[in-house]
Structure 1
Amino acid sequence: MDRSEFREHLFRVQDGLQLYARSYGDLRHGRIPVVCLPGLTRNSRDFHELAGFLASPPGGGHFILSLDSRGRGGSERDDDKTRYTIAAETADLIAACGHFGIEKATFIGTSRGGLILHHLIGLAPALIAGVILNDIGPVIEIQGLLRIRDYLNATTRPASWTAAPRYLQSVHGDDFPILREHDWREMAQAIYRDEGGIPVADFDPAIAAQLQALTADTPLPDLWPQFDAFAGLPMMVVRGERSRLLSEATVEKMKRRHPNLAAVTAVGQGHAPLLHLDGPRQAIAAFLQQ
């Protein structure tokens, strides 16, 4: 399969908002489908390279559904900004599975997407055949969250598409020394949309604004009970070697509480790892073949 081949879908969820999704491969082949959930302000384009690979014969020939959460990418912006919540986005995910006729799937959740999966396990456990958490777990490091708050709410923006990869490298380069020039270009194309030749972050600014009240003293939820509910399910966690959001100590504790957990380190990457690069890509393909 050519990795550029995907189908675009628009569908409505419970409150009438129109969401966008991409699909790769054929749902009718009988294998468990794979559903990809992006991070807080990211979108389905983050998974394009990985999805194309996993849908191809070398990657296992899977059906891949990649979603844009409400307010991100090709999905509509919500007039009611209070609905940018994990609870609402979990309900959207359940609605999406219903729309596409998915009764059970393996879910890949990057950051916010992984938090949605911690919520999904309590609402619709029968949907989950397996879980891959990308740089997220039951404990979130507050310093990593504060860094996300700061760069999402920064006033500096790239002035052109030529400048966009260099801008992203200036912000994230220390955490991603493995990335090369073409990786930064691909990241820019995933993060930004074009408005009159200018790259603009492809999400509702209200989503980032929610983080502005965050401080070092903000209490964060304990998600260990939700994590423990994954017991018995095939599970993998990918941690960026330089992640500031998911600690090595948390991964070790996750392994003790879920003895069959497959733990993968994305060398030379921070939060959140690009899953189509060498290392994570092969590990995910092998996990899905089990």
Structure 2
Amino acid sequence: MRSLQRLVPAADGTRIFAELFGEQAAGRVPLLCLPGLTRNGRDFEPVVERYAGSRPVLTIDFRGRGRSDNAADPLTYRPDVELADTLSVLDAFAIPQAAVLGTSRGGLVGMLMAVAAPDRLSGLCLNDIGPRIEAAGLLRIMGYVGFEMVFPNWDSGARAYGATAPGFAGVSEEAWQAAVRRAYIRREDGRITPYYDMKLSATLPRREDVIAGKTPELWTLLPALAGKPVTCLRGDASDLLSRETVNRLCTELPQAEGVEVRGRGHVPFLDEPECTAALDRWLARIDARPRQP
């Protein structure tokens, strides 16, 4: 599929890679896809394939991931900085408003966007993330982020990639291969490695704080989403997002829809039937709303 690719300079000069698929269609809100902590815009290939024929779909590699520059200062690997980078990308593509689909870390950025730039956010779909992050999942992620892993081939990389994601059932070898080829890269020496800056771990919380339950919760951000179409996807075996968190989110935001994805942990691939149906409903709600000037 043809696309428009750009490297957009952030405020500190870090170049942010973004790719725009599809064209503007009457009555269709652009879809902005924000990836997880160690992932990149290629993670949304199933979403691009499904929706770019009917609306613009913009994917972003956060700083230090994928085809974006590594940050000169690793302490800028923070959601607030990533939000500022995202707004710069939207400006560069002349997109005034977008429906945001955020996977994990990308969902946190989307929640911040609702507060800092509410006029740019038409609606938010959270992929296995919410205002509260469970310690078990966060500790698991902290156990591999920033540790360089090198594999001799894609097969071994796919096995290792799947091993870092418990709770998945019925996933074919081909599906794991597709997933790892989006998240990892083949180096010049032919070996396979994750596609992000290993210094990304610099801003992760301290292990002792996570164990002690001292990580912040983001419930105070939810009022900024009042009235906007919100969907929260949860893998039914997720160790990062609890069913209780989804239920509370839907109570505090009565317009929100919670959807569980069977046989998935953190995070669903977004090509599951539950995900595609939920995304269809969410986008239809957004498209039906009056467009802001």
Bin the TM-score by the shorter chain: over 0.9
Name the SS of the counterpart of 2:70 in structure 1.
coil
One-letter code aligned to 2:182: A
Q: Distance in 1 between matches of 2:49 and 2:3?
A: 8
CA contact (8 A) 2:43 2:182 kept: yes
Equivalent residue of 1:263, what SS?
A: strand
Counterpart amino acid of residue 286 in structure 1: R
Deviations 1:64-107 (A, max 9, x none): 00100000000000111111111111111111111111111100
Per-residue deviation, 1:209: 4.5
| Aligned equivalent of 2:93 | 100
Q: Kindly indicate whether residue 286 of structure 2 is the aligned counterpart of residue 286 of structure 1.
A: no
Distance in structure 2 (CA, Å) of the matches to 1:237 and 1:104: 20
* Other-structure match for 1:185: 177
DSSP-derived class of the 1:152 partner: coil
* From 226, 247, 250, the counterpart of 2:242: 247
2:17 maps to which of 20, 37, 40: 20
Deviation of 1:211 (Å)? 3.1
Post-superposition CA distance 1:41-71 (Å, at most 9, x none): 1000100121121113xxxx11100100000
Q: Decide whether the 8 Å contact of 2:226 with 2:253 is kept in 1.
A: yes
Q: TM-score, normalised by structure 2?
A: 0.91
Specify the alignment match of 1:259 in structure 2: 254
Choose 28-37 or 195-204, whichever is displaced more. Answer: 28-37
Aligned residues with identical type, % of pairs: 33
Worse-superposed segment, 29-38 or 17-26: 29-38
Q: Counterparts of 1:205 and 1:161 in 2: how far apart (Å)?
A: 20
Cα deviations across residues 103-143 of structure 1 (Å, max 9, x unaligned)?
Answer: 11100111111111121122111101111011111111111
Mapped contact 2:8–2:88 kept (Cα < 8 A):
no
Give SS of 2:273's match.
Answer: coil
Of 235, 238, 260, which aligns to 2:233? 238
* CA–CA separation in structure 1 for the residues paired with 2:202 and 2:63: 15
1:51 counterpart = 2:48:
yes
Structure 2: any 5+ residue segments left out of the alignment? 286-293
Does the Cα contact within 8 Å between 2:35 and 2:60 map onto a contact in 1?
yes
Amino acid at match of 2:40: N
Verify the 8 A CA contact 1:142 1:245 in the aligned structure 2.
yes
| Corresponding residue SS for 1:229 | helix
Give the aligned length.
282
Task: Find the aligned partners of 1:72 and 1:154 in 2 and give their Cα distance.
Answer: 15
Contact 2:150 2:191 in 1 (8 A): no
State the distance in 2 between where 1:145 and 1:243 align. Answer: 11
Work out the CA distance in 2 between the residues paired with 1:103 and 1:88: 19
Looking at structure 2, the residues matched to 203 and 171 of structure 1 have their Cα atoms a distance apart, in angstroms, of: 16
**Residue 165, structure 1, aligned to residue 188, structure 2:** no
Q: What residue is the counterpart of 2:35 in the other structure?
A: 38
Aligned match of 2:139: 146
1:223 aligns with 2:218: yes
